[in-house]
Chains A and B, each alone.
Chain A
Amino acid sequence: MTQLPPALASGSVEKGRISRAAREEERRQQVLAACTDVFAKRGYQAATVENLIAGAKISMGGFYKFFEGKEDCFVQVFDRVVAVAQERIRIAVAPDANWAAQATFGTRILIEFAAEQPLAAKIVVLEAQTGGEEALARYGATVREVAAFLRRGRDEGKFGGRLPENFEDSTASGLVWLLQTRLARGDLGDAEDLYPQVAKVVLEPYLGADRAQQVLRAASDEHAASR
Chain B
Amino acid sequence: MARDGGKGEGEKLRRLPPGRHGLSREFVTQNQRERLIAGSIAAVAERGFRETTVTEISAAAGVSRRTFYAYFQTKEECFLATFDLLEEHLFAAIAAAAAAKPSWTEQVRARVEAMLGLFGENPDLVRFALVAPPAAGGPVLERNRSLLERLVGELAAGAPQGRGFAEPTEVEREAMAGAVAAVLAGKVEAGSDKLSEASPELVELVLAPVVGRRRAATAAAKS
Query: Which residues of A line the B interface, CB within 8 A?
Result: 43-45, 129-130, 136, 159, 162-164, 166-167, 169-178, 180-182, 184, 194, 197-198, 201, 204-205, 208-209
Contact = CB atoms under 8 A, between A and B. Distances in A.
Interface of B: 134-137, 145, 148, 169, 171-172, 174-183, 186, 200-201, 204-205, 208, 212-214, 217
Contact of B186 (A170, A194, A197): A170
B198 to A, nearest CB: 9
Nearest to A204: B213
A136 B135 contact: yes
B219 to A, nearest CB: 13
A174 B176 contact: yes
A164 B201 contact: yes
Nearest to B209: A201
Given A184-B145, A204-B213, A173 B182 contact: yes
A198 B177 CA distance: 14
A170 B200 CA distance: 14
A227 B188 CA distance: 49
Contact of A174 (B178, B186, B200): B178
A171 B175 contact: yes
B137 A130 contact: yes
B177 A129 contact: no
Contact of B178 (A43, A178, A197, A205): A178
B214 A170 contact: no
Given A201-B171, A209-B212, 14 more contacts: A44-B137, A130-B135, A130-B136, A159-B214, A162-B214, A164-B201, A169-B182, A173-B181, A174-B178, A175-B175, A178-B174, A178-B175, A198-B171, A201-B172
B173 to A, nearest CB: 9
A163 B208 CA distance: 12
Top 7 A-B pairs ranked by shortest CB distance?
A177-B178, A173-B182, A174-B179, A174-B175, A174-B178, A170-B179, A178-B174
Contacts of B172: 197, 201
Contacts of A201: 171-172, 175
A201 B179 CA distance: 12
Contacts of A181: 145, 174, 177
Nearest to A165: B201
A169 B176 contact: no
Contacts of A175: 175, 178
Contacts of B136: 130
B171 A166 contact: no
13 contacts: A162-B217, A164-B204, A170-B182, A173-B178, A173-B182, A174-B177, A177-B175, A180-B145, A181-B174, A197-B171, A197-B172, A208-B213, A209-B212
A129 B135 contact: yes
Contacts of B148: 177
Contacts of B208: 205
Nearest to B169: A197
B174 A174 contact: yes
B183 A129 contact: no
